[in-house]
């Protein structure tokens, strides 16, 4: 049985994961309109993945005797000055999500809820991977600079991007 402190904290994370999905969906739309098909497809997949993260939390809360709460969402930014700025925002957002997950883990330890603590370890590992992917993409973008040919190749190659982080397995696409 979830206590109210844990249930409230998990419901806050549901909102963060839902907003993450919307942020990446907005990025996908922006990239698609700019003709960056590979980047758009990558972002659509990221959006779907964030929704799966949200649903995993919803199911967990409900299975543990709590009630998941689906709240209103903040509207995401829909314009970017460049694809580099967009990926910088993605990286910043992943760091924000990692901090939120870490805070959740801290709360579970304070509340001595080891079941939820164990459940959240999947999210901890996932965030290591998400940050590694974002960091790798930014490194590649910085290598490209303003080279249009490099952007073309990056857009094509992001479809096959695989990063194996210290957390283990490459992210599932």
Question: 4-160, what's its fold?
Answer: Ferritin (1.20.1260)
Q: What is the pTM (predicted TM-score) of this model?
A: 0.89
CA atoms within 13 A on the CB side of 118: 3
50 is in an annotated binding site: yes
127 is in an annotated binding site: yes
* pLDDT tens for the chain, residues 1 to 173: 899 999 999 999 999 999 999 999 999 999 999 999 999 999 999 999 999 999 999 999 999 999 999 999 999 989 999 989 999 999 999 999 999 999 999 999 999 999 999 999 999 999 999 999 999 999 999 988 877 788 888 888 887 775 455 555 544 44
Q: ∠ CA(120), CA(123), CA(125), 5° rounding?
A: 115
48 Cα distance to chain centroid: 10
Q: What is the largest CA-CA distance in the chain?
A: 56
32 is in an annotated binding site: no
**How confident is the model at residue 171, as a pLDDT?**
46
Cβ pair 17, 51 in contact under 8 A: yes
17 is in an annotated binding site: yes
Domain layout of the chain by residue ranges: 4-160
DSSP 82: -
């Amino acid at each position: 049985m979830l206590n109210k402190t844990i249930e409230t904290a998990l419901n806050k994370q549901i909102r963060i994961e839902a907003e993450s999905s919307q942020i990446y969906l907005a990025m996908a739309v922006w990239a698609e309109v700019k003709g960056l098909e590979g980047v758009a497809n990558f972002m659509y997949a990221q959006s779907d993945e964030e929704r799966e993260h949200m649903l995993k939390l919803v199911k967990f809360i409900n299975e543990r005797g709590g009630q998941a709460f689906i709240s209103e969402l903040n509207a995401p930014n829909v314009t970017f000055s460049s694809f580099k700025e967009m990926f910088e925002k993605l990286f910043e957002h992943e760091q924000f999500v990692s901090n939120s997950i870490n805070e959740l883990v801290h709360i579970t330890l304070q509340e001595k809820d080891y079941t939820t603590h164990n459940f959240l370890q999947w999210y901890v590992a996932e965030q290591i991977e998400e940050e590694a992917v974002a960091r790798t993409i930014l490194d590649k973008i910085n290598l490209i600079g303003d080279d249009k040919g490099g952007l073309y190749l990056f857009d094509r190659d992001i479809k096959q991007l695989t990063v194996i982080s210290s957390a283990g397995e490459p992210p599932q696409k």
